[in-house]
Structure 1
């Protein structure tokens, strides 16, 4: 196409975003319902969408769904600044049949959503494009856009993304199958950033192992040549994705200049850029046409199992820490008894200061989101334990929580029925307080339900018996935690997610104390799959999301100091 067409009245019309072609085209109806963002060449319009929010999720729809037409769904993951928004807009324009010579550009992603300073949101947006089947594609298109990552505050919000997708996939009004997962990278990228790898690993850990063949690289800002840097970056980061006959990642090239102002000087590069993107979209949409969708029923089952196992691991870890706290309190009490042994013999009313363990309810962040979501903690009134603390958003009552299976809890000590549980905006925290007790007061603790012979046992003997029982219980809980981690590895495509990784250091340390070499080797092998920088990022993330447990750690630390003294 030559630029000699930009003459006279046509040139003037182009300046205002209007062409004689458009005046007689079907775009008139679309333009009438759209908002002009900028006139010129091309004219840029913001599409009118029907917006619906459910919880923290947003759905934006163009057109009306035809149940007789097929649909293809894409999930996009990428860092801020990779051109993900322009790629989405490009897919939408292609679906609508927009050509370069039309001199028009439509946008579905709103400008404020593209602003890097505000794009660090935890919202997941679902874009739906209906009514253009058979324009260029034989199907309608659904695009799931996850937030951009990479800004300084992004690491604080990334952990929420997999939970948002989980909510989307299992919601009645959500998405139930995916045809492709697109990892968006710049053509010039020579490495996969730590945060992007963390987020990608977290998102991929939601899926079963069958999803790998549906994961592709979408290379933006491409000059049309082979993206050698980006492909090497994917390989170096050990990103699981579909491979071609050369065992290289399957990729598609896109340029991001479709909506740039067109001048005579930029004619050739802009035409070339458009053709690069057009070819990339053609190859990508052809793949979508032939791809078999991954049904998310299986994914939801995997995710439910992951949530259940992860909640169990968290619960077990809290119980193990409680056992260790009890053991330290016993040691501290014995030291106090030995120190004041003579005084207590002479005076039965003599008191010593001891640590007393107790639990209290602590308010957590939560509440209702829209009509479908309720964030809170599921706790057991009988065991006084947190059964599902982090990430319980879908269940309105304990009966519907993932940790409840066949009417009983899979997490708490006694595996109590759902009726013994509540879901509220609080959780149990373990604390200690100082108390003055006589030897007789301490003895009473062990007197109940004892035979006469047992009652003759010394207080020290009681302590020794309790220590042995606690040690046995701790071994049992550690073995149970280990098995849950192994099960997580077996069911998920990518075990290297935050929800699994954060427990590895804890388990490795405890298994080393037991000198269980076999389990230590297995856990360390799992941990070794994560590079140091990503490991550091995950640790930082876990510290932030578990800050609510600080009181418990303070209690343990306080007893440690007193025991040492």
Structure 2
């Protein structure tokens, strides 16, 4: 047993830090922050426990930072947290115990409710419910697409990136197990969950060959489209193209047929084919000392069909899926191998995020435009949230002015309270880079590939001339740097008095009909703010339409549909201030409906914003 750290005298140890508070929480992680201890602090010890338990787990921060993300928590479980400062061998006192914070229901648990159990056991095996896109089915070439989730991210409201990988390898190389490992990682299945997912969806023709290990059971090329949704462990949608195994007992003619299948999939336009590709995963069993005959040579046979596309290979990754379907309560090594597998997938998908998408049917310019539009939409969504809060504040000011008519006309001072927006710096986890404008104090890209400031001009937010398409002043790329934080909006309540309202709306104390002028001025401001919010929403909606056009996927959204989408997103996320934003969005939806139903009339949306007498 190790000796405990010596206790110090009262004036030597770090003081009691502030009570931990939640910054963000997911199904398996919780990020907390606290007020620092006084005195020298090398690091903090964070301890946590399930609310109903008496057993604490503990972990140390790497330095004296006062924010930490606790990992490997259970979903749908309330936790308490405490922290204390450590200086050398001296331990400070623990903070007060935090409020209980409950982790979210994991995406995996939600998906399990609609999945079909295909095998009993501990863990049980569930088949995910996939929707085949019949419009993308090619009977002749035997290619198809199956979708998990809602493609196009309508539910999220903000488009996310999309990465496409193709799995190739010899029969029995382990592609199916690797795909299952990926889907369990992406959907956030935890080691102590009593279930695991399998995703491979065989046709009836393929199921007849399941028992014959010498023949590849996969006859069709299937693209599994895993749509990004709340709770995903990767920040983008993933398309996994599963191909038939090379080198089975049917010989070279079968291999040539597979090559032709791949060629057809890559060259067919529209939804039947594939527009872009990010990576080719050449799957080889790690115990094999040599490549099999079908893998031997300068270029494996499967790559012949990709030569014209000039697909680059830049990395190799080792995966250990031995703990995927093992009962962790009966196998002592399962937690170790599970952690190794999770780390491997995390490294792989982080690397995949940095890979430049290869166009198969679109030009490079269109790919850049698509990424710029996605980033612009994300930025505008945040501006819309700020605008909705500003709109709400002006409405409150209007009500205050109407309620204090006598005081205003008599120049009698009064005190009032209104919500006010402000921005705070939120620290990022190690490895996440930003593109931040120092001139505008704005995070233009919150997850940028380029760490080196001298390479910032390569970031997608800059146009061909090097000017930012996101920040307010559209500054030159040299004004942008990588930071370890992002700016996030918060809302606080502040007090004010009559003279501040006079100054804001430029109403002199000796003017006649002061109250009437106040109402008129605040109504003008209300209409101005409403128009700004609406114009940004129109821009987002048009951008979404442009994305649909260049992605060759019809996905038109009307103004009313887009506002409904934002309302659903706000209700689902339930972030601070969501009720206010929903209230403002409901008013926007009503006005959008008026315009939709009266297209012939030359009326502006906010003509219907009237003074509430």
TM-score tier by shorter-chain length is 0.3 to 0.5
Which protein is richer in helix relative to its size? 1
In the superposition, the TM-score normalised over structure 2's length comes to: 0.40
In the superposition, the TM-score normalised over structure 1's length comes to: 0.43
Considering Cα pairs closer than 8 Å and 6+ residues apart, tell me whether 1 or 2 has the greater RCO: 1
